[in-house]
A and B are shown apart, each in its own frame.
Chain A
Amino acid sequence: MDWISSFCPPFKLSFLGSSSSHGGDESPTESQDRLVSPSGSSGGSVNGTEEGGADNVRSRELRRLRREIEDLKGQVESQGAEMVKLRGEEEALVKECEHKRSRVAELESEIGQMRGHHREDAQRRTQHIQATEERLRRTEELLATRSAELTGAQAFLSTTDHLSEAEVLGIVRDLNENIYQVAVKLTEEWENLESPLATSRMEVDPASQPSVPVPVPVLVQLVRDRDYTGLTFLLQSCLCSQVVNMTSSWGHHQELAALDSVYQRISASGKYRIVCTGGI
C-alpha cells in the first residue's frame, strides 16, 4: 500500500482509519467531522444562521471530498488491476526472454559444433589435396622420364609400314610368275632334247636315290618316266622351296643359321625386329 500513501498523502490517516475501523463504534460522519474540524469544536456557535451556513459549506465540501475519494479509489483499483496485468505481462516476457536465451545458447552450441565439423572437413580436404598434388608430381616426373626414353627409342623405330599388303602380294605374285616361267622354259627345252633327233639320252637307275633338294618322290618318279608336266611341277616345287628358304633365313652362311632361332624369339614385336635387321 505504499503506492497509495504516496499517491494521496493528505488523506492518509483518515482513509486508513476509516478502512481499518470498518465496523467500529465510531460512525464515518463523526470521523469526517473531526477531519474537517480537528480542534474538536462541534457547533458551539454564537449565531445560528452563521452556523447553518457553515454547516452547508462543510457538507458540500465533505461531499466533494467524498466524491474525490471515490474517484481516487476507482483510480487506485483500476491502476491495481493494470499493475496486475502488467506484472503478468512482465512474467510472460521474462519467460519468453529466458526461452530465447536458452534458444540462443543452443544455436551457439550448434554453431560451435558445425564450426568444428567444418574445420575438420577443411583439414581433411587440405590433406587430400596435398596427397593428390604429391601423386601428380610423382606421375609427372615418371611421365617426363618415360617420354624422354620414348623419344630416344623412336629414333630407331619405324611406326608405319613402308609397303602395303597389296604391294607385298604383288611382289610374291611376280615371284610365282617367274618361277612358272623358268619351269616352263626348262621343260620345253627338255622336250626338245627328248625329241627323236636328240641322241644324248642317259639311262637312270629307277632304284637310285633322287638328288633333288625337296623330297618329292611322286614328281621324281614322273620325271624319270619322262612326264613333261611332272618336270614342270618338280621344277616349280624346288624353286618354291629355295625361295622360301632364301626369304626366311638371314643368309647363306652356316653361322647365320643360328640367327633364325634368335629371330623367332624377338619377332613377336616388329619394333625390335627392325632394330635387329637394321643393325645387321
Chain B
Amino acid sequence: MDQLSKVLDETGSFSSIQQSLELIKDVALEEIESIVQLSLRSQLAFRVEVTSSDMFLLFEAPGNMFDGTKMTDEYGSDATPTPDGLGRIAGTTEVGVGKNVCGGPGESRRPEILLKTKVVLEKDVVENGE
C-alpha cells in the first residue's frame, strides 16, 4: 500500500501520503488483501507444489521493446517497433507466466511462455507520438 500511496501522491491531489494511504484502505483494502493472498499462493505453487518445471511470473520493464512472442498489447494495435520508439513499452498491466523447460541431452533449459504479459505501449498513451 505504501507503493500505491506514492503513486497517488504523484497526482498532487493529496496533502500527504498518509491521506492517500487512508483513501486506499477505504476503497481497495479487500482487493489488496486478495492480491497479497494470491501472490503468496502463487509463490507456494511455483516453489513447492509444481516440481516438474520451474514456473515464474513475467513482468516487462518500461522502456523495453515490444515482443509479440511473449507480450500482448493492451490496445491490440500494431506493435511493430519503429525508429521513433513507438514500439517501446510504457508499462505492464497484467503479469504473465513462464516456465523453464529442459531440452534434450546436452541442451540448456529454455523458457516457455504459458501466459503472455499484457503491456501498454508508449504510442498508445502519448498523443501524436510525443
* A residues lining the B interface (CB < 8 Å): 158-163, 165, 167-169, 171-176, 178-182, 185-186, 189-190, 193-194, 198, 200-204, 210-220, 222-224, 226-227, 229-231, 233-244, 246-248, 267-268, 270-271, 273-274, 277-278
Contact A158 to B91, CB < 8 A, known contacts A172-B57, A200-B15, A215-B62:
no
B62 closest partner in A (C-beta): A216
Which A residues are CB-close (under 8 A) to B53? 270
Q: CA–CA, A267 to B46, complex, Å?
A: 11
18 contacts between A and B (CB under 8 A): A163-B49, A167-B45, A168-B45, A168-B114, A172-B95, A173-B115, A182-B31, A186-B24, A190-B8, A190-B11, A216-B90, A218-B91, A220-B10, A229-B125, A236-B91, A239-B3, A240-B92, A247-B42
Q: CA–CA, A111 to B77, complex, Å?
A: 94
Query: CB within 8 A of B4: which of A165, A174, A210, A238?
Result: A238
Tell me whether chain B's interface is mostly helix, strand or loop, or mixed.
mixed
Query: CB within 8 A of B38: which of A171, A215, A244?
Result: A171
Contact A219 to B38, CB < 8 A, known contacts A182-B32, A274-B51:
no
| Per-residue A-contact encoding for B11-31, CB less than 8 Å = 1, 0 else | 111110000000110011001
Nearest CB in chain B: distance from A36 CB, A? 127
Which A residues are CB-close (under 8 A) to B67? none
Which A residues are CB-close (under 8 A) to B94? 176, 179-180, 236, 240
Q: CA–CA, A161 to B55, complex, Å?
A: 12
Query: CB within 8 A of A242: which of B3, B62, B97, B122?
Result: B3
Contact A224 to B49, CB < 8 A, known contacts A169-B115, A213-B3, A246-B43:
no
| Contact across chains for B39 and A243 when beta carbons are under 8 A apart | yes
Which B residues are CB-close (under 8 A) to A224? 10-12
| Contact across chains for A218 and B126 when beta carbons are under 8 A apart | yes
Q: CA–CA, A175 to B33, complex, Å?
A: 11
Query: B93 at interface (Cβ–Cβ under 8 A)?
Result: yes
| Contact across chains for B11 and A237 when beta carbons are under 8 A apart | no
Which B residues are CB-close (under 8 A) to A216? 62, 90-91
| Contact across chains for B35 and A178 when beta carbons are under 8 A apart | yes
Interface size (B, Cβ < 8 Å)?
62
| Contact across chains for A158 and B51 when beta carbons are under 8 A apart | yes
Which B residues are CB-close (under 8 A) to A171? 38, 41-42, 45
Nearest CB in chain B: distance from A173 CB, A? 8
B26 closest partner in A (C-beta): A189
| Contact across chains for A236 and B4 when beta carbons are under 8 A apart | no
Query: CB within 8 A of A186: which of B23, B46, B62, B95?
Result: B23
Query: CB within 8 A of B48: which of A167, A181, A219, A274?
Result: A274
Which B residues are CB-close (under 8 A) to A226? 11
| Contact across chains for A237 and B92 when beta carbons are under 8 A apart | yes
Given contacts A169-B97, A247-B42, A270-B50, 15 further A-B contacts (CB under 8 A): A182-B4, A186-B23, A194-B11, A214-B61, A216-B62, A218-B125, A223-B10, A226-B11, A230-B125, A235-B4, A243-B39, A246-B36, A247-B57, A270-B53, A274-B48
Which B residues are CB-close (under 8 A) to A212? 3, 6-7, 10
| Contact across chains for A270 and B54 when beta carbons are under 8 A apart | yes
| Contact across chains for A238 and B7 when beta carbons are under 8 A apart | yes
Chain B, range 105-130, C-beta contacts under 8 Å to A: 109, 114-115, 118, 120, 122, 125-126
